[in-house]
Amino acid sequence: MTPALGPVDLLGAWIAIFLTMAILSFLYGDNPFYKLAEHLFIGVSIGYIVVVQIKNNLWVKLERPLSPWDLVPAILIAMMFVKLASRKLAWLGRFPLAVVVALYAGQSVTGLVGSDLGDQIKTASRSLIVDKIDLNSAPPGELSQVPGVSPAIAAKLVIERTARPFTSLDDALSRPSLTASERADLADERGLLVGTEARAATESNRVDWFGVASGVLLLVALLTGLLYFYFSIAHTGVLGRASRVGVWILMVGFGASFGYTVQGRIALAIARAQDIRGTFVSPADAAQIHGEVAAIVSSVIIVAGIWIWERRRAGVAAPGEAS
C-alpha cells in the first residue's frame, strides 16, 4: 500500500495551491490576498538567499585555513562601508568599485570580442556560394545536416555508398539497410525549397540555390539593420531607404522575440495548472492532495474574501458621501 503523505507535505501542497490562486487573483485587481502572497514570496526568497549564500558561499571559504590574500576582499568590503561612517572618507569606496568594474570589463572584453564579434563576423563573412551536400563523399557529420538524416542514418549511408555509390537521391533514400521509420522520416523531409532535395545531391559542386538566397537575405538584413544605427550621415536618399528596410528587419526580430516571450509566459501558466492537477507528483500523491478541489476551495475563499473587502471599502467611502 502506498504510504500516506505526511501532514506537513499535504499542508505544503495546499498552501502552494492557495498562494497560486492568490497571486492569480491580481488579474481581477489588487487585493489583500495578492499582497499577502507577494510579501510572503519576497520574505521567503530573501531568507532563503541569505541562508544559501552563507552556507554555500561564505562558510565554505571560512572552513579552510585563511591566507593573507583573503584579507584583500575583506579590506575592499570594509572600504565600501566606510562612507556610511564618515563622509570625509567616502572617496575610499571608489576603489573597490573600480576593482569590480575593471575586473568585469576585462573579462567581458576578452569574452565578448571572441564570441560576439569574432565568430559572428566570421559567420557573416562566409561565402555566399553554398554547395549541396554530396551524399557520395560528405563525412557523417556533414551528412547529418541534411534534413531528415540523423547520425544513425548518416552512418548507414556511409556504409551503403562504400558498397555501391548513389546514383540519385531516390537511390540513396531507398537502400535496404534503412528501416521503415527512417524512410518515413526522410519522406517527411523531402521538399523542393528547404528539404532533402534542396540540400543534398549525389555529385559534387552542385549549387544549393536556397542556401544562396538565404545567405543573400541574411547579409542584406545584417547590413541594413546595422545601417539603421549609423547616425553620422543623415538617413536620406539611398541610405534612408536602406535604413527603412533595416527598421523592418528589426521589427521582424522584435516580433520573433515577442512571440517567444508570449510562449514563455503561457508556459509558466501551464506549469501552474499542471502542478495543481498533480502532474509532477506520483498518481498516489496526487490522489491524496486533490489539487483541483484545493484550487476550487482556495478560489472560493479568495473570491469571498475580496467581496467582503470591497464591500467594507465601499462602506468606509459611503459615510463621507452621506455627509
Partner 1 sequence: MHWSDRLQRFDRRWIFLIMALAIVIPLYVPIGLPIKARPMTKAAFNAVEELHAGDVVLVSMDLDPASTAELEPYYRAVMLQLKRKGVKLVFATLWYQAPPLVARWLRETVDVAIAPPGTPGYEGLPDRAYVRNQDYVYLGFREGKQNIILGMGANLPGVFGGKTDDGTPFADIPWLRNIHGLGDFKLMVLVSAGAPGAKEYVQFAQNRYDLRMVAVTTAVSVTDLAPYYQAGQLLGIVAGLAGSAEYEVMVGKPSIGVQGADVLNAGHGVVIIAIVLGNLAYFASRRRKK
| Residue 116 CB, nearest approach to partner 1 (Å) | 7
> Phi and psi at residue 63, in whole multiples of 5°?
-70, -35
Q: Name 133's Cβ contacts closer than 8 Å, sequence gap at least 6.
A: 142, 143, 145, 146, 199, 200, 201
Cell numbers 545584417 correspond to: 222
Smaller CB distance to partner 1: residue 113 or 233?
Answer: 113
CB closer to partner 1 out of 32 and 106: 106
In the complex, minimum distance from the CB of residue 88 to partner 1, in angstroms, rounded to a whole number:
34
Minimum distance, C-beta of residue 172 to partner 1, in the bound complex (Å): 18
Residue nearer to partner 1 on the CB measure, 89 or 109: 109
**Which residues are at the interface with partner 1 (CB under 8 A)?**
27-28, 48-49, 52-53, 56-57, 64, 107-108, 111-112, 114-116, 118-120, 122-123, 141, 144, 147, 150-152, 188, 253, 256-257, 260-264, 266-274, 277, 279-280
Smallest distance, partner 1 to C-beta of residue 239, A: 25
Of residues 93 and 147, the one with the C-beta less far from partner 1: 147
**Three-class secondary structure of residue 159 per DSSP:** helix
Helix orientation angle between 237-277 and 291-322, rounded to the nearest 10 degrees: 110
Q: What angle do CA 175, 176, 178 make, to 5 degrees?
A: 80
Q: Can you tell me the distance from the alpha carbon of 152 to that of 186, in angstroms, rounded to the nearest whole number? A: 12
- Write out the E strands in the chain: 133-134, 200-201
3-state secondary structure of 201: strand
- The helix/strand/coil state of 80 is helix
CB of 235 to partner 1, least distance (A): 25
When the beta carbons of 167 and 282 are compared against partner 1, the nearer one is: 282
Place of cell 547616425: 231
The minimum distance between CB 323 and partner 1, in angstroms, equals: 33
How far is CA 284 from each of CA 17, 106, 163, 254, rounded to the nearest angstrom? 18, 54, 56, 45
Least separation in angstroms between residue 103's CB and partner 1 is 8
User: Can you list the alpha helix ranges (DSSP code H) found in 180-282?
Assistant: 180-189, 196-199, 209-228, 237-277
